Amino acid sequence: MILLNLISYPRAIILGALQGVTELFPVSSLGHAVIWPRLFGWNIHQNDKYYITFLIATHLATALVLLGFFWHDWVRIVKGIGRSLRDRGIDPADTDAKLGWLLVVGTIPAGLLGLLLQDKLRSVFASAQSAALFLTVNGLILFAAEALRRRAPQTDDDDDTRIARQVTWAQAVGVGTAQAAALIPGISRSGVTMGGGLYFGLSHKDAARFAFLLATPIIGAAAILKLPELLGSEGNGVRGPALAGAVAAAVTAWLSVRFLMRFFETQTLIPFAVYCVCAGIATSVYFAVS
């Protein structure tokens, strides 16, 4: 059997690093994973089996980084869920339990829609042109989120308590359902989730925190579900570059989440909205004329 690297190591590292950044920045990782290879003339397409296998590794790395970054929060959240199951109810004062179930309730529609629609949407919106167009749409969504956002109440509660008190069950379902839009290359999961959080009255920092917590089980589960492909025969010729890409994704995802949690203490989504609109229009024009 001829084993060749379907993605070269330098490209794997670049694509992995790009994935780690764009998964967490509200600019659509999938959109960039489609646009970038086309922009640079790389013979890589998002529906190629080996590329999907490669992306599984980088997504898993990103999910592990998110899990690690918010590890102490997750421990408290899981304990809270355990307490509520034991007591057969959510104590109004137990904000860890409330936040945990908000994440569960938000993850269910996103997970179901992802399971049922992912392959269909990926095949329908596979082209770099449509990804560029939806990147522009993503920018407009971020602008709209800033325009429609409600003022966050000032409290002395800690971050997770503020989120648990501010977000209702229906809002968690709404944000979770809206996450499914991120199955379309060009639309950002964290952008949609943060936009929803802002609309429901969270601060930028809390909206980012909620988005990252909500993203962790979805990204992790999607990657774990497809892990057999990476470890099986479909991973032949990709595992080495995938590992390199995963390490690059882990490093940039860690730096990104650290940066963004500080950035959103004082800043808004506007810079990302401007980037998405400009990059979306520029690449749309480029693809149209090239």
**By the criterion CB under 8 A, which residues form the site for another protein?**
84-85, 87-93, 108, 111-112, 115-116, 225
Which C-beta is closer to another protein: that of 13 or that of 55? 55
Angle, nearest 10°, between helix axes 9-24 and 239-266? Answer: 30
Which C-beta is closer to another protein: that of 90 or that of 152? 90
CB of 105 to another protein, least distance (A): 9
CB of 124 to another protein, least distance (A): 17
Contact 54, 7 (CB under 8 A): yes
CB of 183 to another protein, least distance (A): 13
CB of 284 to another protein, least distance (A): 32
Which C-beta is closer to another protein: that of 221 or that of 261? 221
Which C-beta is closer to another protein: that of 112 or that of 278? 112
Which C-beta is closer to another protein: that of 93 or that of 147? 93
Residue 158 buriedness (CB in 10 A; 0-12 / 13-18 / 19+): exposed
CB of 76 to another protein, least distance (A): 20
